[in-house]
């Protein structure tokens, strides 16, 4: 007989699965390492911009909202495609993987070209939606026109990378991304300050460094995929083959994911527009907070990605009960880890903020926002897992659309706008208003998980 109390014994029994943890380590650790390096170097980049001034931090942050929208739209396209590639791989259907990759690339490149055109010809109009500060708009528009050249390379890289992960190869895209991101940070330093025998370009140097490294990342990734004859090394004929029955089968569950990401990303940019209209200091504070928040969630991004692959593979293999248990284990890890990480943020936020060379008012706002983040982190982590690792991996994309794409507009954005423009609350209270979205999502999402209605096999014959 065990000496453990019954509830603790049940939890221990629930997590007594060596295969779950072996798969989690294999799939999650490379992603965690990649995301940690990305987050750390992104934080360094914002620190370097801080030496140029608050206007530079705000301008690059707001211009980054355009890429954020594209990134989330591409994530919708690619993660929707990964539902198919993960389940096809679990079933052993390689031609199905290639067909899904071809449609993924077509949709991703189309979206990137549209965003590229808008960024080149309407950058000032776009940024004026986020800020009233003419200096921020001018600097941000110049930055965006150059940075937009990265969009095409990123679409190809992101498509191949996520499909590689869905078939179990996390190391190839991660190692290439880490190497090129380190190069990006070195080039950013050189171009901002005129060091390392590079011209001093200030904010424009950040954009030029990104264009160079995104091109290299894309080229190197494609070289390794086809040189190694990876399972995703589809021929041009396989990628461009048109099968209207498959397109219909593909689009039905993927379209809600794309619409989900469009609505959610527009909601997030609406939040940033609200913060930007509070003050330039407010948006600078939020940009600093985002870099710290990204560092805090790197472990959970890895667990999230790994769980999505495991759940998709298990459903494709017909192991639905095991898919449900795997998702539940990851939800438990996310909740416990999020609580502990939130406590850590609250304890060390002041020493971290002291590294940023910005005004005391910006640091004060950032400190208070981090308190709110520390309280809600575990809920946000669970919500992300429910949407991406459970509902999407299981093919339940319509419910995911309602949960993630609609609630932000029903709860979060209206309350944040009310707080900012009616009650004129400071940015940290406005951010607290935005967290109403996460609370509603958590209750509805957990109910959907326990119902098992999200488990749908997409890999069955058309």
* Domain regions of the chain by residue span: 6-451
Write down the residue that tokens 């850590």 correspond to.
344
Quote the tokens at residue 248: 């219909």
Which of 79, 45, 60 shows the shortest CA–CA distance to 294?
A: 45
User: Is 244 exposed, middle or buried (CB count within 10 Å of its CB: 0-12, 13-18, 19+)?
Assistant: exposed
Distances (CA, A) of 268 to 129, 130, 209, 321: 13, 12, 26, 35
Q: What percent of the chain has pLDDT over 90?
A: 39
- Those residues whose C-beta lies under 8 Å from the C-beta of residue 273, and which sit 6 or more positions away, are 129, 130
pLDDT at residue 245 in the model: 83
- Those residues whose C-beta lies under 8 Å from the C-beta of residue 19, and which sit 6 or more positions away, are none
* Distance in angstroms (rounded) separating the CA atoms of residues 304 and 341: 16
* Distance in angstroms (rounded) separating the CA atoms of residues 164 and 136: 39
Contact 420, 274 (CB under 8 A): yes
* Distance in angstroms (rounded) separating the CA atoms of residues 166 and 175: 16
Q: How many residues does the chain have?
A: 462
Q: Output the DSSP codes for 224-254.
A: HHHHTT-TT---HHHHH---HHHHHHHHHHH
* Distance in angstroms (rounded) separating the CA atoms of residues 394 and 256: 13
pLDDT, one tens digit per residue, over 196-226 is 899 999 889 888 998 999 999 999 999 999 9
Contact 406, 261 (CB under 8 A): no
pLDDT at residue 380 in the model: 96
* Distance in angstroms (rounded) separating the CA atoms of residues 239 and 285: 44
Secondary structure of residue 235 in the 3-state scheme:
coil
Contact 306, 174 (CB under 8 A): no
pLDDT at residue 298 in the model: 85
Tell whether the model's pLDDT for residue 189 goes beyond 60. Answer: yes
* Distance in angstroms (rounded) separating the CA atoms of residues 59 and 39: 19
pLDDT, one tens digit per residue, over 123-145 is 899 888 877 788 888 888 998 99
pLDDT, one tens digit per residue, over 365-416 is 999 999 999 999 999 999 999 998 899 888 888 898 899 889 999 999 999 9
* Distance in angstroms (rounded) separating the CA atoms of residues 139 and 394: 43
User: pTM for the whole thing?
Assistant: 0.75
Q: Note the helical H segments in 92-229.
A: 94-121, 123-127, 134-147, 150-166, 171-193, 203-227
Average pLDDT rounded to a whole number, residues 338-345: 95
User: Is 89 exposed, middle or buried (CB count within 10 Å of its CB: 0-12, 13-18, 19+)?
Assistant: buried
Q: Note the helical H segments in 385-435.
A: 397-400, 407, 413-417, 427-434
Write down the residue that tokens 């504070």 correspond to.
285
Cα 59 to chain centroid distance, Å, stands at 21
Tell whether the model's pLDDT for residue 435 goes beyond 70. Answer: yes
Return the minimum-mean-pLDDT range out of 56-70, 154-168, 305-319, 327-341: 56-70
pLDDT at residue 1 in the model: 45
Q: What percent of the chain has pLDDT over 70?
A: 97
């Amino acid at each position: 007989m065990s000496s453990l109390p019954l509830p603790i014994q049940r939890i221990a029994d629930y997590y007594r699965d060596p295969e779950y943890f072996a798969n989690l380590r294999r799939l999650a650790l490379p992603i965690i390492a990649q995301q940690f390096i990305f987050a750390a170097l992104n934080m360094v980049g914002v620190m370097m911009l801080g030496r140029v001034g608050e206007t530079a931090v705000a301008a690059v942050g707001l211009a980054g909202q355009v890429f954020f929208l594209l990134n989330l739209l591409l994530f919708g396209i690619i993660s929707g495609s990964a539902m198919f590639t993960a389940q096809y791989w679990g079933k052993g259907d390689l031609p199905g993987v290639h067909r899904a990759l071809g449609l993924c690339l077509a949709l991703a490149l189309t979206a990137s070209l549209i965003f590229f055109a808008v960024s080149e010809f309407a950058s000032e109009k776009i940024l004026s939606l986020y800020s009233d500060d003419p200096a921020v708009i001018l600097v941000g528009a110049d930055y965006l026109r150059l940075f937009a050249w990265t969009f095409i390379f990123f679409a190809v890289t992101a498509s191949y990378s996520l499909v590689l992960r869905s078939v179990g190869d996390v190391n190839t895209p991660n190692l290439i991304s880490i190497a090129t991101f380190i190069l990006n940070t070195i080039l950013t330093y050189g171009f901002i300050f005129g060091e390392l025998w590079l011209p001093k370009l200030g904010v424009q140097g950040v954009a030029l460094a990104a264009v160079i490294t995104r091109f290299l990342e894309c080229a190197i990734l494609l070289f390794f995929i086809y040189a190694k004859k990876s399972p995703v090394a589809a021929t041009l004929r396989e990628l461009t083959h048109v099968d209207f029955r498959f397109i219909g089968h593909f689009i039905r569950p993927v379209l809600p994911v794309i619409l989900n990401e469009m609505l959610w990303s527009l909601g997030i940019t609406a939040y940033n527009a609200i913060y930007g209209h509070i003050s330039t200091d407010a948006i600078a504070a939020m940009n600093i907070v985002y870099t710290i928040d990204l560092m805090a969630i790197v472990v959970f991004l890895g667990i999230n990605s790994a769980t999505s692959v495991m759940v998709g593979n298990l459903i494709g293999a017909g192991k639905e009960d095991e898919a449900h248990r795997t998702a539940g284990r990851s939800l438990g890890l996310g909740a416990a880890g999020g609580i502990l990480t939130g406590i850590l943020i609250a304890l060390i936020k002041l020493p971290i903020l002291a590294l940023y060379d910005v005004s005391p008012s910006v640091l004060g706002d950032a400190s208070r926002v981090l308190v709110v983040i520390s309280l809600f982190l575990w809920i946000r982590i669970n919500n992300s897992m429910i949407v991406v690792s459970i509902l999407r991996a299981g093919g339940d994309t319509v419910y995911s659309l309602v949960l993630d794409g609609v609630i932000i507009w029903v709860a979060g954005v209206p309350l944040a706008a009310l707080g900012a423009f009616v009650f004129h609350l400071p940015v940290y209270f406005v951010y607290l208003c935005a967290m109403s979205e996460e609370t509603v999502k958590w209750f509805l999402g957990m109910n959907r998980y326990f119902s098992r209605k999200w488990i749908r096999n997409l890999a069955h014959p058309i």
